[in-house]
Structure 1
């Protein structure tokens, strides 16, 4: 694993830019096209598959392209979402209240994961003169930003590991495989001043262009 990372670093390449073992013509991208049209109010053109890095200069599907495909074949891209009964996983109060395993297109996974948190959150509210103001446990924009960051910054070379979103009675935890890109420990750093270093820059660009995450370096402060 460390050797693969060193080879990538030495070659100046990133995992998401590498050619995959999957053929472009075998994949569909309806989810990407749908979100692109909804967000940018224009159709996704065929030449953008190359300019966005979904297909490389040799007409091969990149790993980024495989992750964005409707039925993504990359199994380690899954997200496991769980609503636990209590304050931890082992408090003896019973099994999980709700759980779901998300797979396929990472854009669809983001949307479904945000929906899971929304549907399993409590809401306070008060009534104004002509509307009702709702205050959920977790602001949806912050949840979207946190999950988007987990997706684009995770280490996809860690086989057998997935993103986990765990909801407890008093908190929400998001686990994303892979440590800091430079090997440092986040516990020794200030999360609000850590420089933005993108493990998967193509994915980061996709999500930024589509308005699914904040601009580089501003997300943590917004959360």
Structure 2
């Protein structure tokens, strides 16, 4: 069988020829001069097909938009929550009001609304609905934040937080502050100040990071916060944001890289997320407040961050279970202070010089503390092996 020229559409070019040959039919093209004539006689047709092929190639080359970037299924402008938007406008000191043309322009620039390619109707995007929608959890089940508090007596208290993210995070923090942290009144400064048994700013940053940086394309998993008397665990779907690695997070010196920079921007404007680098610095200062450094690990596709909050948990994580109470007391004091001198240690516990020297030397021998400097300038520093 003879054929003239291949179809100019790359989607079907050569398919007919291949089909015939696969069924035992020998195929040959027309001679070159006849092919040239075919192209000339059908120039308009071939031009149209070439343009179609070029357009198809461009569409194929376009990066696929995520669920945050496209119009949310079934949503319309009335799907926005007036309460959520007003809260954002107030807390961010915005210069425009809602509803207004200025708000629409701002929302379109940030990708919170977009024109539907089929209906040409202006609709909220997935990002817009998650941040400001009435009930984003109906379409995006992964936007729910689960909290479990277990104090070991009776059933654990479990609560699901849904709704727009700008209202969800404050609700989670208020619930945890009320139910999960033991609060006392500190009068040492001459005025009554509410104090928690774990640094609230660190917990706030960890929860905010889960909301801001999680991978929302993972639809089968939600953010999760667990608290018990010994520890606090925060899990969020997705690993570290490229190019960060788990080791970068463990070092607590990773640069600020966000998977969802627009969510980060909104939370920063509302003062719901720390400035760049502040959150990591707060975590780095935990040992000085008597807590271990957080533990970062991946667990079934979830980034898991664990904070110790009691002496027993700290001792367990530091491998101190077999130490005497005296040795634990010494180590935890050094850990809390960061580094100490023998004189400071002796004064704190009312010890003689030889007793203080012996207790410190015992921990050095066990590899839990190391010495820096010489003579009276010697300081003892806790080694964090967790």
TM-score (norm 2): 0.48
Count residues with an aligned counterpart: 207
State the 1:127 CA deviation: 2.9
Per the alignment, residue 35 of structure 1 pairs with: 87
State the 1:147 CA deviation: 1.4
Answer yes or no: is the 8 Å Cα contact 1:55–1:62 preserved in 2. Answer: yes
Judging changes above 3 Å, is the alpha-carbon distance between structure 1 residues 49 and 29 closer, same or farther for their aligned structure 2 residues? farther
State the 1:12 CA deviation: 8.1
Answer yes or no: is the 8 Å Cα contact 1:81–1:101 preserved in 2. Answer: yes
Work out which of the residue numbers 105, 109, 115 in structure 1 matches 2:164.
105
Matched, 1:162 2:226: no
Work out which of the residue numbers 107, 112, 119 in structure 2 matches 1:49.
107
Q: Deviations over 1:72-114 (max 9, x none)?
A: 131111011111124xxxxxx5421x22111121111101110
Further displaced range: 127-136 or 55-64: 127-136
Answer yes or no: is the 8 Å Cα contact 2:88–2:166 preserved in 1. Answer: no
Work out which of the residue numbers 71, 86, 94 in structure 1 matches 2:135.
71
Give the alignment of 1:76-155 within 5 angstroms. 76-86=142-152, 94-96=154-156, 98-120=157-179, 121-127=181-187, 131-155=191-215
Task: Give 4+ residue runs of structure 1 displaced > 4 Å after superposition.
Answer: 12-15
Secondary structure at the aligned position of 1:101 is classed as strand
Answer yes or no: is the 8 Å Cα contact 1:31–1:107 preserved in 2. Answer: no
Structure 2: segments with no counterpart, 5+ residues: 1-61, 117-121, 284-386
Judging changes above 3 Å, is the alpha-carbon distance between structure 1 residues 112 and 12 closer, same or farther for their aligned structure 2 residues? same
Further displaced range: 100-109 or 194-203: 194-203
Select the structure with the greater relative contact order (CA < 8 A; seq sep ≥ 6): 1
Secondary structure at the aligned position of 2:184 is classed as strand
Judging changes above 3 Å, is the alpha-carbon distance between structure 1 residues 130 and 197 closer, same or farther for their aligned structure 2 residues? closer
State the 1:116 CA deviation: 1.3
Answer yes or no: is the 8 Å Cα contact 2:240–2:246 preserved in 1. Answer: yes
Answer yes or no: is the 8 Å Cα contact 1:154–1:177 preserved in 2. Answer: yes
Matched, 1:21 2:84: no
Answer yes or no: is the 8 Å Cα contact 2:146–2:161 preserved in 1. Answer: yes
Judging changes above 3 Å, is the alpha-carbon distance between structure 1 residues 133 and 146 closer, same or farther for their aligned structure 2 residues? same
TM-score (norm 1): 0.79
Judging changes above 3 Å, is the alpha-carbon distance between structure 1 residues 160 and 168 closer, same or farther for their aligned structure 2 residues? same
Per the alignment, residue 7 of structure 1 pairs with: none
Secondary structure at the aligned position of 2:104 is classed as coil
Structure with more of its chain in helix, by fraction: 2
CA-atom RMSD in angstroms: 2.6
Secondary structure at the aligned position of 1:196 is classed as coil
State the 1:11 CA deviation: 2.4
